[in-house]
Amino acid sequence: MTIPAEDQERATAEAARWLIALEEDPDDAALQARFEAWLDASPANALAWADTADVYQMMGQLQPRHAEHWAPREAATAAPAPASLSPRTPRRTAWRRRLALGAMAACLALAAMPSLLLRMEADHLTATAEQRTLRLEDGSQVRLGADSAIAVAFVQGERRVQLLRGEAFFEVAADAARPFRVQAGEVRTTVLGTAFEVRRDGDSVAVAVDHGRVLVEQPGAPAPLPARLGKGDWLRLGRDGAVEHGSMPADQVAAWRQGQIVVRDRPLGEVVEELRRYHQGLIILADDAFAGQRVTGVYNLADPAAALRILAGAHGGKVRQVSPWLLVISAG
């Protein structure tokens, strides 16, 4: 069975969070029950947990607390083993906690493998907290946001840019003979001469227009696609396929160019995903329900850790700094 890269990346990050949670509360029966349910939910989860187990054991050769789950499962359809809550183990020491954190970091490194492939595919990319302005061969300009990547393919009759990850602001030189198209996943944005932003976070894509007009399309998508957007208009296609649209002041389009994120009624998890591109370290969002809360606000990209504390605190959550390079966000 082939598991999509995005599913495996998600599962690996979740496995790392489970490792920390089980180390924090080894006797929490409700937590262990949720862990069992997560483990049986998909083949990606089982594989990610097996990889986490391997890293954990290699780093310390410790007897695992949930031994029956540390071996890979042959198939997701196999009958799950009955939950076995282990007896209380000796109190954790500081070195054991460091081991768990080290294992988590190693597991997240496994999740970073798609980034290595991205580097091979991209023509231009930026690092964490880096922005870059590019001039394309036709005279168009691209402002590439932090931790973002594009591939460029100009051919006779068409100018095509693929947004592989992150966000980009385009100022397009008019050329009626060669349409300018930006492809982000399955979403295609076509213009002749205009300025607009495209943002891609996994399967979620957003388009916003500074001036001019664009056509946004996705083959097989439900209404309101295709859609024509003008000055200040925005459209967002969510991971679940839902389409949202509205308008904003044009000077707030791609506000990240001025060091801000302007958020209107978006899931908290999506905002955290954007702030990750500006934080020199790891950010773990430990509560899926909390990640789904809708948020509105303006946040400063120059200090993403402070922005995360404001964001989480305003909605009853908290940010815990586990180490200089690791922040964990959870509900209060």
pLDDT in tens, 170-211: 999 999 889 999 999 999 999 977 999 999 987 889 999 999
Domain boundary among 208, 234, 251: 251
Task: Check residue 12 and give its pLDDT.
Answer: 75
Alpha-helix residue ranges (DSSP H) falling in the chain: 5-24, 29-39, 43-60, 94-111, 113-121, 268-276, 288-291, 304-313
Least confident interval from 100-114, 161-175, 202-216:
100-114
* N residues, the chain: 332
Which of 227, 251, 275 represents a domain boundary (last residue)? 251
223 has a pLDDT exceeding 70: no
pTM of the model: 0.69
Q: How far is CA 83 from the centre of its chain?
A: 31
pLDDT band at 243 (very low <50, low <70, confident <90, very high): confident
Query: Would strands 195-201 and 158-171 be described as parallel, antiparallel, or unpaired?
Result: antiparallel
26: confidence class by pLDDT, cuts 50, 70, 90? confident
Element (H, E) at 149: strand 149-155
Write down which residue in 251, 279, 310 finishes a domain.
251
Cα–Cα dist 207/172, whole Å: 15
How far is Cα 214 from Cα 206, in angstroms, rounded to an integer?
13
pLDDT over 90 (residue 93): no
DSSP summary character for residue 139: S
The pLDDT confidence band at residue 165, using thresholds 50, 70 and 90, is very high
Question: Which two structure tokens, joined as six digits, stand for 295?
Answer: 């948020």
136 & 232 share domain: yes
Question: Looking at the predicted structure, is the pLDDT value of residue 232 above 90?
Answer: yes
> What's 295's domain CATH number?
3.55.50.30
Are 311 and 295 within 8 A, CB to CB? yes
The residue with greater pLDDT, 225 or 80, is 225
* pLDDT at residue 2, as a whole number: 56
- Here the tokens at position 319 are 């940010």
Same domain, 242 and 297: no
Please tell me the distance from the alpha carbon of residue 52 to that of residue 107, in angstroms, as a whole number: 6
Q: What is the model's pLDDT at position 107? A: 53
Number of domains making up the chain = 3
Confidence bin at 39 (pLDDT 50/70/90):
confident
Question: Does 306 lie in the same domain as 183?
Answer: no
Domain boundaries, position 167: 120-251
- The rounded distance, in Å, linking the Cα atoms of 108 and 97 is 17
CA distances from 218 to 65, 131, 224 (A): 47, 28, 10
Orientation angle between helical segments 113-121 and 5-24, nearest 10 degrees: 150
DSSP bridge partners of 139? none
- 282 and 219, same domain (yes or no): no
- Least confident range of 23-37, 152-166, 280-294: 23-37
Question: Is residue 105 pLDDT above 70, yes or no?
Answer: no
- pLDDT single digits (tens) 145-161: 999 999 999 988 899 99
